[in-house]
Amino acid sequence: MTYDYQEIIPYLLHWFDHNARILPWRENPKPYYVWISEIMLQQTRVEAVKGYFDRFITALPDIESLAKADEEKLLKLWEGLGYYNRVRNLQKAAQLVMKDYNGKLPADYEPLLKLPGIGAYTAGAIASIAFGIPVPAVDGNVLRVCKRISASFDDITKETVKRELWLDLKDIMPKDRPGDFNQALMELGAIVCLPNGKPLCENCPVMHLCKSFHEELISQIPVKPVKNKRRLEDKTVLLIEYQNSYVIHKRSSQGLLAGLWELPLMEASLSQEQVEEKLKEWQLDIQSVAAMGEAKHIFSHIEWHMLGYHIKLSGISEQFLEEHAYLLATEEEIRYKYALPNAFSAYSGQWK
């Protein structure tokens, strides 16, 4: 063991008992609730997840309803959370659980790990929180907290470092409260031991045991290599309106935002003149074209730099829609039926 975390346990649990945030999935840690919340929390802050979680659980209250949900409904429920493969994997896993486990999540770490979309962290979180099994759940927050406490200069992006910490924590997990121990570490990272060199050490229950604090190393730990730069892509977004309906298009089933709906999108930033020329080429009955300004959307490896135009038509042909595989949908249909990713929110904002 590189550092003995045993000593922090009583202080951490005592702090958690008095400071844990009240969250719907903590109030009622049913395995299904813990699972859904952990998947949602992978890329989104707790405060933002609450609303999505309530909406999802109300629409799909159990594993069976998730397994049977229509894909369009599922994507719509995930709208705003991004990383849509996560919800597709949730459904695949729910279907497997229906088939192989009689509709109940397996109460063990290894079989959980075999389900689609469930990695070591999520399996550890579900196993410990929902089933009381003493296995660690090591995410970015836990890595940061532990590496600061132990004043370790390990590169926390390395799988070997994560695995070593997992093994260290596995040895000292309190058998009576494994779920609370994992959640306490995560919570400390989320609300006290904050990233980017700004932890609130004066509020920390383990400050007296924290080597980084005493050795003044906090600004240097955790160690992460500089990320590769994202690829920049220029796009032109068309908000095409005809009689209070809007043109949308279903993206390919492969790649970025697979299978979701989008506003008509063109490669490169086009000027208003270039857009008007394109519309003439398409032989559309144009009423007006107005620039909607610039917007940016950041994905994990790509950054879209967009220019938007609001185009009002006085007529639209079936042929035009068919040729481009476009669909004309009302504001209400877009709001309730078709999943339009956040990437377009700067332009679709007027009906949201």
Site residues, ligand SF4 (CB under 6 A)? 145, 148-149, 192-193, 199, 201, 204, 206-207, 210, 212-213, 218
Measured distance CA(222)–CA(145) in Å, rounded: 8
Which positions ≥6 away from 148 have C-beta within 8 Å?
193, 199, 210, 211, 212, 213, 217, 218, 221, 222
Beta carbon nearer to ligand SF4, 212 or 245? 212
Question: Judging by DSSP bridges, how do beta strands 302-315 and 261-262 pair with one another?
Answer: unpaired
Angle between helices 46-59 and 31-41 (to 10 degrees): 130
Q: Is 332 a catalytic residue?
A: no
Question: Closest approach of Cβ 204 to ligand SF4, in Å?
Answer: 3
Residue placing its CB nearer to ligand SF4 in the complex, 189 or 341: 189
Q: Residue 25: which region, alpha, beta or left (left: phi > 0; alpha: psi -120 to 50)?
A: alpha
User: Could you tell me the smallest distance in angstroms from the CB atom of residue 244 to ligand SF4?
Assistant: 53
Distance CA 103, CA 45 (A): 29
* Helical (H) or strand (E) element with 35: helix 31-41
The torsion angle over the Cα atoms of residues 264, 350, 45 and 228, rounded to 10 degrees, is 40
CB of 212 to ligand SF4, least distance (A): 5
In this complex, which beta carbon is closest to ligand SF4, that of residue 75 or of residue 192?
192
Gap between the Cα atoms of 77 and 56, Å rounded: 6
Least distance CB 195 / ligand SF4 (angstroms): 10
Nearer to ligand SF4, 21 or 352 (CB): 21
Q: Say which of 7, 38, 241, 333 is annotated catalytic.
A: 38
Residue with tokens 């469930």: 118
Distance separating alpha carbons of residues 305 and 161, to the nearest angstrom: 36
d(C-alpha 159, C-alpha 161), whole Å: 5
Shortest spacing between CB 257 and ligand SF4, in angstroms: 37
In angstroms and rounded to an integer, the radius of gyration of the C-alpha atoms of the chain is 24
By C-beta, is 52 or 213 nearer to ligand SF4? Answer: 213
Active centre residues (catalytic): 38
